[in-house]
Amino acid sequence: MPRVLLSLIVLFLLSVPALAYPNPLTCTRNFYVATTGTDNSTCGASGSPCATPMGADAATSIGGTGAPLTGGDCVNVAAGTYNAAGVQFNTSGTSNQANGYITYLGAPNHASKIVSNVTSGFGGFMLNFVNNYVAFVGFEIDGHNIQGFSGTYNPNTSYTYNAYGSIMYPRGPTHHHMWLNNIVHGTGGTTIGSVSQDYELIAGNEIYDFSGNNGCSTSGISLYENTAIPNFTPSLPWDTQTYHFQILDNIVHDGGLLPNLDGECGNQRTDGNGIIIDDFQDAQNPPHVPYPYNVLVAGNVVWDIGGRGIEEQSSTNIFVANNTVYKTCMDSTVANCAGLEILGNNDAGTTGNWINNISIRPTGESSGTYAMRIDGGASAATHITNNLTYDLISGGNSLGVFSTGNDSGVAATIVANNKMGTNPTLTNLASHDFHPLAGSPVLGTGIALPSGVLPGPVTQTVDGFTQPSPPNIGTYILAGSGGTTVPMSVNSGGPAASPFVADTDFTAGSTIQNGTGTTDLSGCTGKCAPNAVYQTERYSPSAGASFSYMFPGLTVGTNYLVRLHFSEDWAADEVVGGRLEDVSINGVNVLSSFDIYHTAGNVAHKAVVQDFTKTPDSSGNMTVAFVAHAGSPDQYAKVDGIEILSAAAPTLQTLTLSSNTMHTCAAQGTLIGNISSTTAGSTVTIGTQSTANALQVAQVGGVWQLQVGSGALCGAHTYTLSLAETLTGATGSPKTTSGLSVTETCP
C-alpha cells in the first residue's frame, strides 16, 4: 500500500555518511515557506506561507504579527525548489544563544532546495548575507555552476575573484552565522565562506563540485581576513568561549578542478583547496589588524581536491584536529601543494596546534606534492603533534619543509613528534571509506581534544559517533574495524536520538515519520529505544521490495547481539495479519511472517524488541535484510531501529515442549506445541524420530514450533524424537535434546 506523506519520504542509497551535527538552536515562534505561498509583507503564517526564504526575510509583518523576524524565530521551509541568484538577506536575530537566532529549517532529507536560476553571465554571490545571528539548517543549495568571475578582472576594484560561489558573506562587519547539515554544490567559486566576519559555525555540511568557473579556483570552505566585531563586549557563554570560528564535521570532496586557465591569477591557480584559513594576520590588505581570536577546524573529511586539503596561510591561533585528508593536489597548476599545509609567517599557532590529523598522498600524484608541507614559521614544528602522514607511492612520510631557516632541524622535530610514514590501514581508500580497520595505529592513540567548546560537540565524528577517550586519530571512529562501533544504535529513517545515531549504513528503502508522538514502552523494559526512535521508520521502497542494513568491520567469529526495534504505526496494519514480514541476518531467516501488531499483544503504537545473537560473515559484515512475507496484505516491510551490541557467548539450554499431544489424522502443519528454551538466533531441527516425517519443525513469528508432519499415522500412536539446536559461536552448539515424545490420541 503506497505511503502518502510525500514531503516526509525519500529514497536513499548509501554513499556518504549521514550528516549528523546536532542543531543547538530552539524555536520560540514558527513561520512557514512553501512553493505554493506568496511573498508579501504579512506572509509566513501556516495558512498563508511565504513563497521563498527571501520573502520571509523581507516580510515587515511576518505572519501578520506586526513586526519582522527576530531572534528565536524559525522559518520552516517546505520541500520543493526555490530559485535564487544574487539575493540578499537583511533581517537579523538578536543574540548568540539557543533562542537568539533566526533559523531557516529545510524539510527532512534535504528536500528543500535553493537553486541558482542563472547559469551564465552572473558575476556575484548567489546568496548574500548582510545580517547577524542567522542560521541555515538542512538545505540542499545548488549553485548550478554559477560563474565564478564575469567581465574584466581588475584586482584593484574587485576582491570577488576568490569569493564567488553558492554561499559567501560580502565584506563588512557582519557576524554570528551558523551553516549546519546542508548539502552545497555546483558552485563557480567558494561554497561556504566568510570575509571580514566574526563568529561562524560551519558544521555537518557536505560540499562538492565547487570552484568550477573561477580562474583562481577558490576553495570549498574559505575564511579570509576575518576581523573582530567592533565595539563588542562578549558576555554570553557562546560568545566568551575560546573558538569564535568553528569548522566541524564537514565532508568536502570533488572540487577545485578547472578545465582551463583564464589569466585571472597569472595562469596559476592559487587555491582549489578543501578548507582554507587565509590571512588572519591581515597582511594582504589594510588596515593590517590581525584577528585576535581562535579558530577550530576539527572532524572534517576532504578528498579528491584540485588544491590543498586543509591550508593555514598567514594566520595564527588556529587549532586543526582529527581531520582526514586524501587525494589532494590533483591540479598540476597548483604549485607547492600538500594535503595539510602551513604557509607563511604563521606559526601553526603559537596559541594553536595541529593534532590527530591523517593525510595520505595517493599513487599517481605529481612530484613536488606532499602529505604535509611547512613553508616558513620555524616554531610551527613544536605545535605539530601526533599527526599521521603516509605516501602510497613510496611508503614514506611525505613531509616537505621549506624556508624555515633550519629546514632539516624542523623536519626532524616533526618526524619525531608525529606518526610520519605510517600506514593508517583504512578500509577502502578508493571508495572513500576511511574507517580504520582492526589493529589500525590510529585507534585510541590521539591527543585529547579541546573541551568547553560551545555550542558543541567537538568530540563527535563526521559519521555521528563520539570519540573514545583517548580519541582516535582522524575523524571516522570505530571499535573493531571498518565502520561499526559497538555499541552501534541506528534510528531507522530518523535523526540522531542519543544514544542512537541518525539513519546510516542502509541500502534502499524509504523513510517516513509515522509515529503518534508517544509509544508504549511497557513491553521492552531494559531494552527500549528512546521514544523518538519509534516515531520514524525505514520501509520497503516499493511493494514487495527489500531493503537492508550492512554493518561492516566487525570481528569475525565474535558474537554480537542484533537488536531490532519495531512499533506498528500504520493505521491499515493495526489488525492481526495486516503486515507480515521476513527478516534475515547474513542470509539466514530469523523472523518469518513476523506480525508487529500481534506480537505487541494486538496493540498499536507499542514497542516490540527482538534480539538475536549472531556472528559476522567471513568479511566481518553483519547484514540485516527486511522484506514483506509473500501473501502479506501490506507488502511493505519496516523497522524503527537497529542495534549491534556486544554479546557474551550464549549457552544453549535443554529444549522443552509446551505440549506433547496431537489429535489423530491432523493436517500437516498443525501446531503441536512451541519449543521452549531456545536461544535467540538459533536454528532448531529434528535429529531423530521414531516414524519418518511424522513430525516437523518451523519458525513462526520468531517462535520455533513442533508441528504435525507429512508422515503422521492416523490412530493412537506415540512418537519419540530428539531436537538439535545450532547457533554459531554459542557454548554447547550444536546441542541435542533427546527423550522427547508426542502422543497421538483419538477424539
pLDDT digits (tens, 9 = 90+) for 640-653: 999 998 776 678 88
**549 and 624 Cβ atoms separated by less than 8 Å:** yes
The enclosing H or E element of 127 equals strand 127-129
Range of weakest confidence among 1-5, 98-102, 241-245, 613-617 = 1-5
Strands 310-313 and 273-278: parallel
pLDDT band with cut points at 50, 70 and 90 for residue 254:
confident
The pLDDT of 27-35, averaged and rounded, is 95
Cα(419)–Cα(429) distance, integer angstroms: 19
Please give the angle made by the CA atoms of 351, 357 and 363, to the nearest 5 degrees: 135
- Based on the fold, state whether residues 635 and 524 are members of the same structural domain: yes
Residue 602 lies in a domain: yes
pLDDT band with cut points at 50, 70 and 90 for residue 121:
very low
Supply φ then ψ for residue 496, to 5 degrees: -60, 140
Residue 736 lies in a domain: yes
pLDDT beyond 60 at 272: yes
The enclosing H or E element of 417 equals helix 407-417
- Report the residue count for the chain: 747
The enclosing H or E element of 53 equals helix 53-58
- Based on the fold, state whether residues 608 and 703 are members of the same structural domain: no
User: What pLDDT is stored for residue 747 in this prediction?
Assistant: 63
- Based on the fold, state whether residues 701 and 586 are members of the same structural domain: no
Query: In whole angstroms, what separates CA 141 from the centre of its chain?
Result: 18
Residue 572 lies in a domain: yes
pLDDT in tens, 692-743: 999 999 988 778 999 999 999 888 889 999 999 988 767 788 899 999 999 9
* Selected residue with higher pLDDT from 213 and 431: 431
Cα-trace Rg, the chain = 30
**264 and 149 Cβ atoms separated by less than 8 Å:** yes
Domain count, the chain: 2
pLDDT beyond 60 at 347: no
User: What pLDDT is stored for residue 33 in this prediction?
Assistant: 96
User: What pLDDT is stored for residue 149 in this prediction?
Assistant: 37
- Based on the fold, state whether residues 562 and 587 are members of the same structural domain: yes
Point out the domain boundary residue: 621, 646, 671: 646
User: What pLDDT is stored for residue 483 in this prediction?
Assistant: 41
pLDDT band with cut points at 50, 70 and 90 for residue 6:
very low
The pLDDT of 401-409, averaged and rounded, is 83
pLDDT beyond 60 at 189: yes
- Based on the fold, state whether residues 609 and 668 are members of the same structural domain: no
Task: Indicate whether this model's pTM tops 0.85.
Answer: no
**328 and 305 Cβ atoms separated by less than 8 Å:** yes
Residue 730 lies in a domain: yes
- Based on the fold, state whether residues 662 and 683 are members of the same structural domain: yes
Cα(51)–Cα(58) distance, integer angstroms: 11
The enclosing H or E element of 433 equals strand 433-436
Range of weakest confidence among 147-156, 420-429, 533-542 = 147-156
Burial of 220 (0-12, 13-18, 19+ CB in 10 A): buried
Burial of 280 (0-12, 13-18, 19+ CB in 10 A): buried
Cα(743)–Cα(747) distance, integer angstroms: 12
Q: Is the peptide bond before 49 cis (omega within 30 degrees of 0)?
A: no
- Based on the fold, state whether residues 676 and 591 are members of the same structural domain: no
User: What pLDDT is stored for residue 670 in this prediction?
Assistant: 92
Residue 437 lies in a domain: no
Cα(200)–Cα(193) distance, integer angstroms: 9
CATH number at residue 662: 2.60.40
Q: Locate 9 and state its grid cell.
A: 519520504
Cα(654)–Cα(724) distance, integer angstroms: 10
Query: In whole angstroms, what separates CA 326 from the centre of its chain?
Result: 19
pLDDT beyond 50 at 205: yes
Query: In whole angstroms, what separates CA 731 from the centre of its chain?
Result: 37
The pLDDT of 568-589, averaged and rounded, is 93
What b-and-e string marks burial along 178-211, b requiring 16 or more CB atoms within 10 Å of the CB?
bbbbbbbbbbbbbbbbbbbbbbbbbbbbbbbbbb
pLDDT beyond 80 at 259: no
Cα(146)–Cα(163) distance, integer angstroms: 12
pLDDT in tens, 206-240: 888 887 665 555 788 988 888 899 899 999 999 99
Residue 129 lies in a domain: no
Q: Is 225 left (phi over 0), alpha (psi -120 to 50) or beta?
A: left
pLDDT beyond 80 at 613: yes
Range of the domain at 541: 486-646
Cα(21)–Cα(24) distance, integer angstroms: 9
- Based on the fold, state whether residues 540 and 574 are members of the same structural domain: yes
**573 and 579 Cβ atoms separated by less than 8 Å:** yes
Secondary structure letter of residue 411 according to DSSP: H
pLDDT beyond 70 at 345: no
Q: Locate 505 and state its grid cell.
A: 549504513
The pLDDT of 588-597, averaged and rounded, is 93
pLDDT beyond 50 at 16: no
Point out the domain boundary residue: 595, 618, 646: 646
The pLDDT of 566-588, averaged and rounded, is 93
User: What pLDDT is stored for residue 7 in this prediction?
Assistant: 26
Sequence-ordered list of residues with C-beta below 8 angstroms from that of 134, at least 6 positions apart, any chain: 89, 92, 93, 101, 102, 103, 104, 176, 177, 178
Q: Locate 253 and state its grid cell.
A: 570532496
Quickly count: other Cβ atoms within 10 Å of residue 518's Cβ: 10
Residue 565 lies in a domain: yes
pLDDT beyond 90 at 342: no
**321 and 294 Cβ atoms separated by less than 8 Å:** no
pLDDT beyond 60 at 35: yes
Burial of 527 (0-12, 13-18, 19+ CB in 10 A): middle
- Based on the fold, state whether residues 494 and 597 are members of the same structural domain: yes
- Based on the fold, state whether residues 660 and 726 are members of the same structural domain: yes
pLDDT beyond 90 at 1: no
CATH number at residue 587: 2.60.120.430
Quickly count: other Cβ atoms within 10 Å of residue 697's Cβ: 18
* Selected residue with higher pLDDT from 300 and 16: 300
The pLDDT of 51-56, averaged and rounded, is 96
Q: Locate 630 and state its grid cell.
A: 509473500
User: What pLDDT is stored for residue 159 in this prediction?
Assistant: 31
The pLDDT of 502-519, averaged and rounded, is 82
What b-and-e string marks burial along 573-603, b requiring 16 or more CB atoms within 10 Å of the CB?
bbeeebbbbbbbbbeeebbbbbbbbbbbeeb
Cα(728)–Cα(609) distance, integer angstroms: 22
Residue 613 lies in a domain: yes
Q: Locate 122 and state its grid cell.
A: 552572473
User: What pLDDT is stored for residue 148 in this prediction?
Assistant: 42
- Based on the fold, state whether residues 616 and 712 are members of the same structural domain: no
- Based on the fold, state whether residues 635 and 679 are members of the same structural domain: no
Q: Is 144 left (phi over 0), alpha (psi -120 to 50) or beta?
A: left
pLDDT band with cut points at 50, 70 and 90 for residue 352:
low
Point out the domain boundary residue: 611, 646, 681: 646
User: What pLDDT is stored for residue 371 in this prediction?
Assistant: 92
Looking up cell 545450532 gives 726
- Give the residue among 119, 312, 117 at the shortest CA–CA distance from 212: 119
